[in-house]
Chain A
Amino acid sequence: DGGITQSPKYLFRKEGQNVTLSCEQNLNHDAMYWYRQDPGQGLRLIYYSQIVNDFQKGDIAEGYSVSREKKESFPLTVTSAQKNPTAFYLCASSPRRDTQYFGPGTRLTVL
């Protein structure tokens, strides 16, 4: 089955903890993206990667970090420096110069 998977579906974080959200794709897409969605805010770009071992900051990168060691994987770490991390996180991928396809998302809640 080809597609984009995100895990976990729900994630709870205590204050001061780092957590990592997983995103995997088996579509052989070059580029991968992380977006954050808050109510009434649409989607905002956190980080994106156009190629393995390279990534760029998006509009709201502070408090987040990423890696792209494999083409298939683009994990997002939410660090303790992110003061308001409760949100819905969407991962996407795209082949060169084409449509972005999205995973099912991860809902992160700070306790």
Chain B
Amino acid sequence: AQTVTQSQPEMSVQEAETVTLSCTYDTSESDYYLFWYKQPPSRQMILVIRQEAYKQQNATENRFSVNFQKAAKSFSLKISDSQLGDAAMYFCAYRERSGNTPLVFGKGTRLSVIA
């Protein structure tokens, strides 16, 4: 079974600085999706970024980018120019490419942003 591991339960960053959240996963599949979701205090799950495993280019969305290392099964999220609104729980998730299989989530990293 696939597993997703987030080894940092909590992280903090100064406003305007850069922070990287780590995620590793285990799978025997060669084609899959990886995601980062953000959960602010409202508890609404918000998609931050999505990566398709067959694409070698790392995904980028404004201040958010990933470092996808397929061989190492690593998928880290980099947040540049951190803002107070970035404070939230961040979840890494994996999904097989075939069918509508459910997401497999890590346990999350709580990010604090210090003014």
Query: Could you tell me the distance between the alpha carbons of A43 and B50 in the complex, rounded to whole angstroms?
Result: 18
Count B interface residues, CB 8 Å.
23
| Of B33, B37, B95, B102, most A-chain CB atoms within 10 Å | B102
Interface segment out of the listed B11-19, B63-71, B78-86, B103-111: B103-111
Residue of A nearest to B35 (CB): A99
Q: How many A-B pairs with Cβ below 8 Å? A: 49
Q: With a CB–CB cut-off of 8 A, which chain A residues contact B33? A: 99
Q: How far is the CA of A104 from the CA of B42 in the complex (A)?
A: 8
In chain A, positions 10-56 with a C-beta closer than 8 Å to chain B are: 30-31, 33, 37, 40-43, 45, 48, 50
Q: Which residues of A contact B43 (CB under 8 A)?
A: 37, 88, 104-105
User: Which B positions have Cβ atoms within 8 angstroms of A?
Assistant: 9, 33, 35, 37, 42-47, 50, 91, 95, 97-100, 102-103, 105-108
